[in-house]
Each structure stands twice: as C-alpha cells, then as structure tokens.
Amino acid sequence: MASKKDDGLCSVSVVHEDVVDHVKSVLDNDETFYYMSEFFHMFDDPTRLKIMGALIVSEMCVCDIATVTGMSQSVISHHLKILRQARVIKFRREGKMAYYSLCDDHISTIFHQGRTHVQEKEERG
C-alpha cells in the first residue's frame, strides 16, 4: 500500500503492478491515440455536427446542406473539406453536382451515441 507524502501524492511509482502490466499490455499505441484524437476533433464543432446530422438523414449537395443548416455555401464547403480530409464524409459526382454522405455506419453510431448521452444528461438536469 502506498504511503502519502505531505504533498498528497503517492510515494511509490506502482501500487498494483499486475494491474499496470495488464493495462499496458492491452492499451493501444501512441499513434492510435493520436489518430483517434484527430478523428474526435471532427465532433468538436457544432457546424460539423449539424452537417453530420443532416447527412445521417440523407445524401445532400452543398446547396441543400446550406439551406438546412441556415449557413452560407462557403461556410458549408469549408466544413465539408475538413470532414472529407478526416474521412468522415465522402462525395460522389453526378454531372456538375457533388453529393455528400457519411463514409460509413461507424460515424452514424458515434453521432447517435453522443446525442443519446447529451439528451440523457439534459433529462437528469
């Protein structure tokens, strides 16, 4: 058992060596955490979340996304570029039009889990 110093910190570096060894053996590498951080960064902007929410409902062009979100096409295009670079959304061309959609169901699942978490917190007060 670790004893406490006057500063309140543990005086030993490892209290439960078996736990530490197990966690270290299953924990992802630093590169994985870096890319996860980059991925979750896409969820830290309300405009990008609104775009993702719209694209969960339907594939859309820039003009329609701008109308749904109440934002300019240039603002939407900027966010779409960020989301595309992060491989959160994809697009397909039909003539001169580009239609955007989510890359895969993982994005939708993460979005819905986050929304459910927030709504439950709101209900509890």
Whole-number pLDDT of residue 12: 73
Whole-number pLDDT of residue 59: 98
Over residues 20-39, mean pLDDT: 94
For residue 82, count CB atoms less than 10 angstroms from its CB and return exposed for 0-12, middle for 13-18, buried for 19 or more.
Answer: middle
| Cα dist from 10 to 3, 6, 16, whole Å | 6, 10, 12
Q: Is the pLDDT of residue 71 over 90?
A: yes
Confidence of residue 8 (pLDDT cuts 50, 70, 90): low
CATH number among 3.40.50.2300, 1.10.10.10, 1.10.3130.10, 2.40.37.10, domain 17-124: 1.10.10.10
pTM of the entire predicted model: 0.79
